[in-house]
Structure 1
Amino acid sequence: MPTQPSAAIAQTEVAPLLRLALPIVAGLAASTLIGVVDTLMIAPLGTLPLAAASLTTAAMIIFYSAIYGFVSAVGIEAAHRHGGAQADAVAAALRAGLVLAPLMGLVAAVFMGLILVSLPFIGQPPDVLAIITPYWLAMAALLVPVALLMVIAQVLNAMDRPWTAAGFAFLAVVLNIPLNYLLIWGVGDWPGLGLIGAGLASLIAETLALLVAISWLARHGLLRARPDPALRRRLARDGLPLAIGYTGEGAAFAVIGLMLGIFGATALAANQIVQAVGGVLYMLPLGMAAAVAIRIGQASGSGDPTRLRPIAIAAIGVVTTWMIAVTITLILSGSRIAAALSTDSAVVALATAMFVIVALIQVADGVQSTALGALRGIMDFVWPTRLTLASYWFFALPLAALLGFWAELGPLGIWAGYGIGITLVAIILPLRFWRLTAAANR
C-alpha cells in the first residue's frame, strides 16, 4: 500500500517518463518527417500530386497502425523481461519479432496493393487516380522495412536504448532528403521521376536504415538468441488484438481521408498539409504512449504494482499540457503554416479552417492515446480493442458522415464528427485503467 497519494508519487515519475519518451518522440518524429519531407518536395509539383500523396497517406495509416499494434506485443514482452533483468529473454523476444515483422509487413503491402483497385469505385477524383499508381505501390513496398524497424525500435526502447532506435529513424530521414531531390527533380539533363521518385526515395532510405540497424544488432550480440516457436506463437496471439485495434483506428482515420476525397482534390491537398504538420506535433502523445507502456511493463515485471497509477497520472498530465499548447499554436498559426506549404489559395483557405477543427481535438486525442499505452503496459489488450472499434466505427464515423454530408458542413463537419468520437474514447479508457489497478492501491 503506497504511503503517499498517487498524484504526489506521480511527480517523481515525470522525469523518468520524459527521459524515455523524448528519444521515442524523436524517433517517431523522424519517421513522420519522411512524410513531411515528401510533402514539402511534392508540393511544387502541384495540387494533383499533393492530393495523390494525401490519398496514399490515408491508406498507409491503416497499415502503419496494424503493424505498430502487432509489434507492440514484442515491445511489451521485452519491457517485462527487461524489468525482471532477463537479458536472454529480451533477445529471444527480439528474434521472434524479427521473424514475425516481415510477414506482417508483406501481408500489409499486399492488402494495400489490393485497395488501389477499389479507389475508382469510392468516389475519388479521376485526375488524382490517373497519376497515383506508381507512388502508391512504392509506398506499399515500404511497409516491409518499416515493420522490421518498428520491432527493432520497440525492443531497444524496452531495453532503455531509445536514442539508438531514434538514430536509425533519423538516418532514414537524412538519406531521404538527397534521394528525394535526386529522384523527384533529377540531375543534369535527367528530369527526374516526379511523384514516383518520392516513393522510391522513401523506400530506398528506409531499407538502407534497416540494414544499418541489423548490422548494429549483430555487432552487439543481440541476434544470437535461439529460435523459440512457442514465444513466437504467443507474441503473434498477443499482437493480434492490438493489430486489430490499431487497424480499426487507422482505418477509421483513413475513411476520414476518403470522405474528404469526395469533396475533390482541394480537400485532399488541404488535409495532407494539416496531417503532415499535425502528425509531427502529435509525436509527443505517441511517444508518451509508448513510454508509459514500457514503464508500466517494467514496473509490472519488477513486481512493483504500486507505481502503475503514478506512472499513468504523470504521462497524462504531460500529454495534456503539451496538447493544450499544440491547440493554441494551430489555432493562431494555421493560416501561416498553410500558406508556407501551398500556393493554391483554395487549399490554403480550407487548410486554415481545418487546422482550427483539428486543434480542438488534440487534447482528447492525446489522452486516449496515452491511456491506451497504459493499458497495454498491464497487458490489457482485448477490451480496449473492442471499445475503440465500437467508438470509431459505430459512433465517430457515422457522426462525421452526418455532419459532413447530411448537415452539409463539408470537410469541417467530417473532422468535427470524428473528434467527438475521440473524446468519448478519451473519457472511457482512463476509467478502465483506474479500475484495473485498484487492487494495487488499496
Structure 2
Amino acid sequence: MPSGASTRAEVMPLLRLSMPLMIAFAAATLIGVVDTVMIAPLGTVPLAAAGITTAFLIILISGLWGLVTVIGVEIAQAHGADDAGEVSAHLRHGLALCAIGGAGAGLVMVLAFPLLRWLNQPPEVIAILMPYWISMAIWLVPILMFFAFKTLFDTIGRPWTGVAISYLGVVVNVPLNYGLIHGVGMGLVGAGIASVLSSSATLLVAWLFWHRASDLAPYRQRVPISWGRIRMLYREGLPICIGYAGEGAAYAFLGIILGWFGAVELAANQVVNAIGGVFYVIPLGMASAVSIRIGLAIGGSERDRLRPILSAALWIVTLWMLAITALYIFGARTMSEALTRDLAVVDLAVGLFIVAALVQVADGVQSSTLGALRGMSDNRVPTAMTLISYWPLALPAAYVIGFPMGYGAIGVWAGYGLGIALAAILLSVRFWRLTAAR
C-alpha cells in the first residue's frame, strides 16, 4: 500500500481536477432534470415515455463514452510527455471519431424503435414516443463532440472552461424547454428539440473558445485527418465502449424490466434516474479525474504515483458517497415529490431510492478503480469483469428477486446492486495486482 504522505500529496490535485469535472457533468444531468420537471405536468404517460428513452440512451451514451475516454487518455499521455503536436492530433481525430460515432449511434436508435413493441412496453407510451425518440437520437452528435473538446480543457488545466460552457447549455435549455413544451404547445417532442438546440450551442461555444483562445494555440496545430489514426482510436476505444455499453445496457435493461410492470414503475424509475443522474457525477467526475492523473503520470514516466493516486481517490469518493447514501435515505420522499404529484409514483420512487442508497459506496469504488485502469490503457480485462458482474449475475438476480420472489420493482433494483458490488471487488483486485512492486 502507498504511504500516507504519498496519498495525501495526491488529494488536492485530485480535488482541484475532480470538482470542476463533477460540476460540468452535473450540467448534462441537469438538462435531464429540467426535461423531467417540465414533462411531468403533461402526465404519467409522457413521463414514462421519457423514461423509456432515457433507458435506451443510457446504453448508447455509455458505449459512446468509451470513445471520449480513450481520447482523454491519449491527450493526457501526450500532454504528460509535453507533446502539443500529439495533443492537437488526438483532439482533431477524436472530434472526427465522435461525429461518426454519434451519428452511427443515432441511426441505431432510430432503427431500434420497433423493438419497443417486441419488448412489451406499454402501447399508450409507444403511441406518443416516436418524435421525441428521433430528436434525442440527433442530440447524440453535438453532445459527444462537445465532450471531446471538454476533455482537452480538463487535461491541459482549464477544467473550469468546460464547466462554464456546460452551464451555458443549461441556461439555454430552461427557457427553450418551457417555451417549446408549454408555450408553443409541442409537448414531449419540444423537450427533445430543446435538448438538441442547447447541446449544439455548447458545441459551438467550445469550438469558438478553442479556435480563438491565445493560450490554446499550441493545441490548434493543423494535422491532416488520417483514417488510419481514427481506426486506431476506434480499436483502442472499442473494449472500453463494450464495457461501458455492457454496464449501461444492464442498467437500462432495468427500465425495460420495469416496463413489464407498467407505466407507474417506469415513471418512478425516471424520477430516480433524474435525481440519481445528478449525484452520479460524483463517481463519474472522480473516475475521469483519476484517469487523467494516471495518464499524466504514465506519460511522465512516474509509475510510482499510480497507487497513491487511486488511494487518495478512494478516500475522497467513499466519504462523498456516504453523504449521498444519507441523502437518499432521509430525503427520498422530498426529492420524489419535487418531480411528480402522482402519489403511486412517489411511493415507489421512495423505495427505489432506499435500495440505491445501499450501493453508493460500492459504485464509487468501482467507478474510480475503473477510471484508474482506463488511464493505464488496461481495457480488455476490466471490460470482461464488468460484463460478468452485470449480465450473468445482476440481471438474472434482478429478474428472480423482482418476479418469482415477488419483490417487484424494488427487488429488480436490489438484484442490480449485487452486480455493482462484484464489479467493485474484481476491479480493485485487478488494479492492485497490476501495480504491485516487481
**Contact 2:2-2:307 at 8 Å conserved across structures:** no
1:254-281 Cα deviation digits (max 9, x unpaired): 1011001111110011111111111111
Deviates more, 1:62-71 or 1:346-355: 62-71
Q: Which residue of 1 aligns with 2:75?
A: 78
Match of 2:188 in 1: 195
What amino acid sits opposite 1:431 in the alignment?
V
Segments of 5+ residues of structure 1 without an aligned counterpart are none
How many angstroms does 1:71 deviate by? 2.0
1:390 is displaced (CA, Å) by: 1.5
What's the offset of the Cα at 1:121? 1.2
RMSD: 1.2
Q: Is the 8 A contact 2:394 2:418 kept in 1?
A: yes
Query: What is the aligned partner in structure 2 of residue 333 from structure 1?
Result: 331
* Contact 2:401–2:412 (Cα < 8 Å) also in 1: yes
**In structure 2, C-alpha distance between the alignment counterparts of 1:344 and 1:296, rounded to whole Å:** 46
Please give the secondary structure, in 2, of the residue aligned with 1:217.
Answer: helix
Q: Quick check: 2:402–2:412 contact (8 Å CA) kept in 1?
A: yes
Residue by residue over 1:117-138, the C-alpha shift from the partner in whole angstroms, topping out at 9 and shown as x without a partner, is 1101111111111111111110
Residues of 2 paired with 1:339 and 1:270: CA distance?
11
Identity within the alignment, %: 51
Partner residue in 2 for 1:298: 296
Structure 2 residue aligned with 1:25, among 22, 26, 29?
22
Q: Is the 8 A contact 2:291 2:373 kept in 1?
A: yes
- Structure 1 counterpart of 2:103: 106
1:273 and 2:275 are equivalent in the alignment: no
Is 1:182 equivalent to 2:179 in the alignment? yes
SS in 2 for 1:16: helix
Instruction: Give matches, 1:23-422, under 5 Å.
Output: 23-186=20-183, 191-220=184-213, 221=217, 222-227=219-224, 229=226, 230-422=228-420
Equivalent residue runs for 1:6-25 within 5 Å: 6-25=3-22
Q: Which 5+ residue runs of structure 2 have no aligned equivalent?
A: none
Does the 8 Å CA contact 1:39/1:276 hold for their aligned counterparts? Answer: yes
In 2, the alpha carbon distance for the partners of 1:156 and 1:49 equals: 37
Matches of 1:117 and 1:149, distance apart in 2: 30
Offset at residue 6 of structure 1 (A) = 3.2
Checking the alignment, whether the CA contact within 8 Å between 2:382 and 2:427 is kept in structure 1 is yes
Cα displacement (A) at 1:225: 2.7
- Select 1:432's aligned residue among 425, 430, 435: 430
Give the Cα–Cα distance (whole angstroms) in 1 for the partners of residues 5 and 409 of structure 2.
43
String of CA shifts for 1:80-113, please: whole Å, max 9, x gaps: 1111111111111101101111000011101111
Q: Does the CA contact (< 8 Å) of 1:270 and 1:347 recur in 2?
A: yes
- The 8 Å contact of residues 6 and 309 in structure 1, kept in 2 or not, is answered as no
Q: How far is the alpha carbon of 1:8 from its aligned partner?
A: 3.2
Distance 1:353 1:10, change over 3 A: same
Q: CA deviation at 1:422?
A: 0.7
| 1:391 Cα deviation after fit | 1.3
**Normalized against structure 1, the TM-score is what?**
0.96
Instruction: Report the alpha carbon displacement of residue 228 of structure 1 after superposing the two structures with TM.
Output: 5.1
Separation in structure 2 between the aligned mates of residue 51 and residue 126 of structure 1, nearest angstrom: 11
Deviation at 1:231, TM superposition (A): 3.2
Distance 1:46 1:11 in 2: 50
1:217 alignment partner AA: W
1:205-233 Cα distance to aligned partner (Å, 9 max, x none):
10111111111111134443312524333
Say which is worse superposed, 343-352 or 222-231, in terms of deviation: 222-231
* C-alpha separation in 1, matches of 2:158 and 2:2: 31
In the alignment, the residues of structure 2 paired with residue 379 and residue 316 of structure 1 have an alpha-carbon distance, to the nearest angstrom, of 20
1:386-421 residue CA offsets vs partner (Å, 9 max, x unmatched): 111121111111111111111111100100000011
Give the direction of change, closer, same or farther, for the CA distance of 1:248–1:268 in structure 2 (3 Å limit). same
Q: Which amino acid aligns with 1:345?
A: L
CA distance in 1, matches of 2:3, 2:108: 45
Q: Matched residues in 1 for 2:111 and 2:136: separation?
A: 13
Distance 2:386 2:67 in 1: 16
Cα pair 1:7 1:313 within 8 Å, conserved: no
User: 1:382 is aligned with what amino acid?
Assistant: R
Q: Any idea what SS the aligned residue of 2:403 has?
A: helix
Question: In the alignment, is the contact (CA less than 8 A) between 1:176 and 1:202 conserved in 2?
Answer: yes
Report the residue type matching 1:19 in the other structure.
R
Check whether the contact 2:76–2:155 (CA below 8 A) recurs between aligned residues.
yes
Give, in whole Å, the separation in 2 of the partners of 1:60 and 1:171. Answer: 22
Q: May I ask how many residue pairs the two structures share in their alignment?
A: 433
* Counterpart residue type for residue 236 of structure 2: D
Checking the alignment, whether the CA contact within 8 Å between 2:2 and 2:311 is kept in structure 1 is no
TM-score by length of 2: 0.97
